[in-house]
Structure formats: C-alpha cells, structure tokens
Structure 1
C-alpha cells in the first residue's frame, strides 16, 4: 500500500543561523513585512541532526521537533578542584540544596552534562559533576572499573556527599553510581541513569553498529589504534544523532588529545565490558549490581534512548530493566549518547522527577 506523504506546501526555504536569538529576530522581520497576510506559512526549526539522526527520524516517520532552548557548544559551568587519593579532580558545583551527582562514562567528561544541569536551576538542588586526573605509570588495566569506583568513593568522601544524595549516571558512569549506592543504600535518595551496562551480556544484546568497534578494541591492533589515533573517541560522533559543532567536539577530544597513555581510559573500559561466558571481577560486580537493583526500593528514573543503544527499544536489557521495582521510565530521543542527543528532554524529565523526590 502506498501513502501520499507529500507536504501540503509548494515552496520550502532552509536557512542556518548562529543562535536562537538571531532566528527569532529573523522570523519577526518576516512577520513585520506582512508576509503572513498573503501566504500561509509554517516555521519548523531545531538543532541540526547528524546523518544517522536524520536517517533514524525518517525511518521512524518522526515529525520535526519544536525549537527548544539553544544548545551551547561551550559549557557555562565553572569548576573547582579537590585532592583525591593524591590526584587532582576538577568538578562542577552549581546551586545549593539536595546534592545531585552527575557521573559520565567512557570517552566523555563532565562536559557531557553541560546542557542537562541548567534544567535543575531553581530546584533547591546542588548539581555536581567531576572529572578525573590521569593516573601515573599507566598501562593495560590501569583504568579498571574497580579503580573508577575507588576514586569515586574518595571524591564523595572529600566533598562530604553522604546524606540524601541523588546519583545520575550515563554509560559506565551509571554503573559507578550503582556500585556506590549499593554500599550506601541508606544515604541515597534516588538513582537516575541512561545506557548503563546491565545483563544479559551476550554479543547479540549489544548494539549491532557497536559490535565491530568493541571486538576490534579487544585486539592488539585496536589498542594501538586508540593510543596512536584516538580511534574510540573519534568514533563517538557516529552514534550521536545531533550534529556536534567543532567547539563541542574539540572539548570532547581535549582530555584525550595527547597520544599514548593519556588515551588508555578509552580502551580499558570497553575491554572490561563482559560478553558471553567470560568471567572477570568486573562481570561479578555488574551482576551483583543488577541483582541489587532488582530488589532495592530506592526510587529510580530510567532515561532510555529511542531507539536507544545499549538499552535499545525491544532489547532484552531494556525489558529486564523495566521489571525493576520503584522505577519510572522517561524515554528521550537518541541512541547511546542520550545527554548529547536530547539534553533538553533529559533535563526536563530529570527536573520533573526530582520535584517528586524533593517536595
């Protein structure tokens, strides 16, 4: 059966402007000219989609989204410093009230949360997001999951974030928050997460477009490609549905711009993700987290992408997460990098959920 999906308009105009303010001024000028007195017109605008984002929207027959707030390419958030286990950790610290701790995953830094955190303004919350210093004498296995968890513990202790905290995590950062919450359950007010690493751990449950990358990273050639050519960081935009500006990508690359061991974090964690029947300390930790999450009554907010990446729509991981108690699901548009794909949708959903926890 064929459907007529032609737009009911004879002419289209596409234009690009530097920001939302300029766009609104331009549209006001059109209205002032009297154009709308003679012609019917519909204005549709939004952030530019990447090729994969445009393809997914077209396949899903999704309508254009309305223009939201501008997505700044540079974070407006200033950072502070604290000594943690002999290393310097920088962190964002915005607002006052209930501590809400944002934890990024592999490849990214606290920059990931720059457009989500502002949605919590006026919420009586204190938003925190940290960045790790590089470790000395790095080599294979330096940035194991247990090491991330140990430094996160020490950072939380250094900032005295121990009572009524809300934890927000993405990717492996979500698992770091699960680990801390499991050991400090009476101090956690709520958990929000997106694209966490959860069972089942079969290759068939991993996103098809990401399997070749993760298999390649397990080879000696893949390791060299990361350390010499920044392979894993440079591959990230392929899974982001929004077109990044050069300034945004420069900041994403910045922590890993120096060739060599500075890029070690971006190969250690992908190699630790368990698959099939491999047994490791990390697999045991992630399975223990999943068992605890299936039992605890701590309020949780799951922010899965549509169609999603690790927790893809219709996948076994997503179905298993949906069975956890005390869980609310708030889907947002996107693949794996949901805070980059849909920061305003994620921020709005998080703010609404926090109001129910705090008030």
Structure 2
C-alpha cells in the first residue's frame, strides 16, 4: 500500500484506487487505518484511509502530537494527493480532525459521516462515574506509566472497547506500531486531549470552531451512525438527539449493538448505512473533470 512524504515525515494510507468521489476514512485513538479494513471490504469506489502521523505505519517525527500537529500533517496529506470533492468518514479523533479540516476547507467537502466522535464541548459533569475515573487516571502520573510502560490503551481498547473481544492474534496489527515507550506518546497525548471544561484550551478552541461549521453547513449532507448495548459508547440517545437539533443537514442511522470501536463489532452495518446514504445524497457519481 502507498506511503507519501508529508512535511518532514511520511504517511501510510490504504487506497482502493477505485473511481468516483474520494471517501476518506479517518481513524481515532489508539487505532490506525487497520480499524476500517472490514468496512472498506464491503464498499466500492475511491476509498482512502490514512494512518495519522505517529500512528500505525506512518512516520513518527519528534513532535508534541497535539491536535494542531495532527491537523498540519493531515492537511499536507490531503494536499499531496490533490484530494477535492471529498466525503469524510470519521471515528473518534478522526471525526474531530475531519470536522476541523472541513471547517477550514469547506469548498473541498461533499459530505461527512460521523460515529463515536466529539461533536460539542464537554464538562467533567457530562462523564459517568467510570469514564470520569478513567479520564482522571489517564491524566495522572500513574496514567502516564500505564500508557507508556504497559501499553494500557491498545491492550484494553480491543477487549473492553468492543462487544466481542479480539483475540491476541487479531490485536497484533494494532499493537505492532507501538513496541516502545516513546512510540506510545501520541496515544497518551490523544487520551489527555479530550476537552473537559475548556481544557486543553487549544483543543477546545478547535472544537468550538468546527462546531460552528457543523451547525451552519446546510449544503453539506451529514450522517451520524449510532449504536447501543455498550457502556463505552460516546454518543448515546441524549447526545444523538442533541446532534439532530444542532448539526445541519443531518441524517441518523442506528446500526445496532457495538462498543466504542464499532468498526470491529458492526462493519457490515456501517458499510451498508454509508452506501445507502451515499446513494440518497448523490455521492456516488464520477468525479467532475
């Protein structure tokens, strides 16, 4: 699969090299493009899925791995491939990065699909008891040791963050990019970047910026995929209802039982919902020019 130079590093990406509007699948933490493999296998057309900088098989430059760093490298990836008239599909931080890119490049976006991602400012009070305890732990000194020394995030994401735990063999592609303490720093930075009560301020500012775009972009069709039956879900019924009221041109499709890493639990349902939405919204036509 392809790898391309971006800024001072490289980014790996999957590319079906099909025809039509490019659908770009953006992963979250602590995953990679590997998370989309089962969804992509059910779809047709031009499908691309990059590994975010410092993650998966992309390069690992010596940067802080803040939201803005990821955005800069992702910008360079889009530009290097000349991607326009894009349909974005985002999960977790991939959704947030996709919204941020769309808000800054509205003329290049044809549609946005989102699942289990960050759609509005959050507070500590929004978190349930277990999520709050986990967030406090990750932001502590003990959390640093858990993530960097014990690879806690990857080890638990695909056992506790899914309804059907992945076997050790199935987890290996997720574990392989992070063999050392230093290689896991991007994962820790993401885990500590969830904006709660306005902190970290740089991430909260990004979220507020793309929130305005989500609310005002009536010309861009959007699709929210929702799930049920797991305590790890980020978007439940209440937040889905908020999305319906506050995100312009939004359709909501329920895809059944899944954990936060829903691509592992419900890939066929996700792909089917995306394909049906693309047809309804005229997003399957050949690219112009």
TM over 0.5: yes
Corresponding residue for residue 81 of structure 2: 159
Distance 1:243 1:201, change over 3 A: same
Which residue of 7, 16, 22 corresponds with 1:99?
22
1:326 to 1:97, Cα distance in 2 relative to 1, 3 A:
same
* Equivalent in the alignment of 1:110: 33
| Structure with larger RCO (C-alpha < 8 A, sep 6+) | 2
Kept in 2, the 8 Å contact 1:207–1:310? The answer is no
2:50 to 120, 127, 130: 130
Larger radius of gyration: 1
Q: Secondary structure at the match of 1:322?
A: helix
Is 1:255 aligned with 2:165? no
Deviations 1:173-203 (A, max 9, x none): 0011101111111221100010111224112
- Assess, with a 3 A threshold, how the Cα gap between structure 1 residues 205 and 148 changes in structure 2: closer, same or farther: same
Contact 1:305 1:331 in 2 (8 A): yes
Determine the structure 2 residue equivalent to 1:42. Answer: none
For the residue of structure 2 that corresponds to 1:198, the secondary structure is coil
Displacement after TM superposition at 1:93 (Å) = 0.5
Displacement after TM superposition at 1:322 (Å): 1.5
Give ranges in structure 2 of 5+ residues lacking alignment. Answer: none
1:144–1:136 distance in 2 versus 1, CA, 3 Å: same
Partner of 2:264: 340
| Number of aligned residue pairs | 271
Give distance in 1, aligned partners of 2:103 and 2:197. Answer: 25
Cα deviation for residue 212 of structure 1 reads: 2.0
Stretch moving more, 206-215 or 102-111: 206-215
Distance 1:159 1:99 in 2: 11
Distance 1:307 1:294, change over 3 A: farther
Asked if 1 retains the 8 angstrom alpha-carbon contact of 2:198 and 2:204, the reply is no
Matched, 1:199 2:120: yes
Offset at residue 338 of structure 1 (A)? 1.4
Query: Counterpart of 2:162?
Result: 240
> 1:213-246, CA deviations, whole angstroms, 9 ceiling, x for partnerless residues?
2211101121122111101111212121123133
> In the alignment, which of 237, 251, 255 is matched to residue 328 of structure 1?
251
The CA distance in 2 between the partners of 1:277 and 1:101, in whole Å, is 29
- Which structure 2 residues correspond to residues 41-190 of structure 1 after superposition, within 5 A? 79-94=1-16, 95-121=18-44, 125-131=45-51, 132=53, 133-137=58-62, 142-162=64-84, 164-190=85-111
- Alpha carbons 1:119, 1:351 under 8 Å: kept: no
Matching of residue 231 in structure 1 with residue 152 in structure 2:
yes
Distance 1:284 1:104 in 2: 21
Report deviation, 1:279. 5.4
Distance 1:134 1:260 in 2: 16
Alpha-carbon deviation of 1:278? 3.2
Aligned to 2:278: 354
Equivalent position to 2:221, from 291, 299, 302: 299
> What is the DSSP-based 3-state SS (H/G/I as helix, E as strand, rest coil) of the residue aligned with 1:143?
coil
**What secondary structure does 1:137 align onto?**
coil
Distance change in 2, residues 1:207/1:87 (3 Å): farther
Q: Which residue of 2 aligns with 1:283?
A: 204
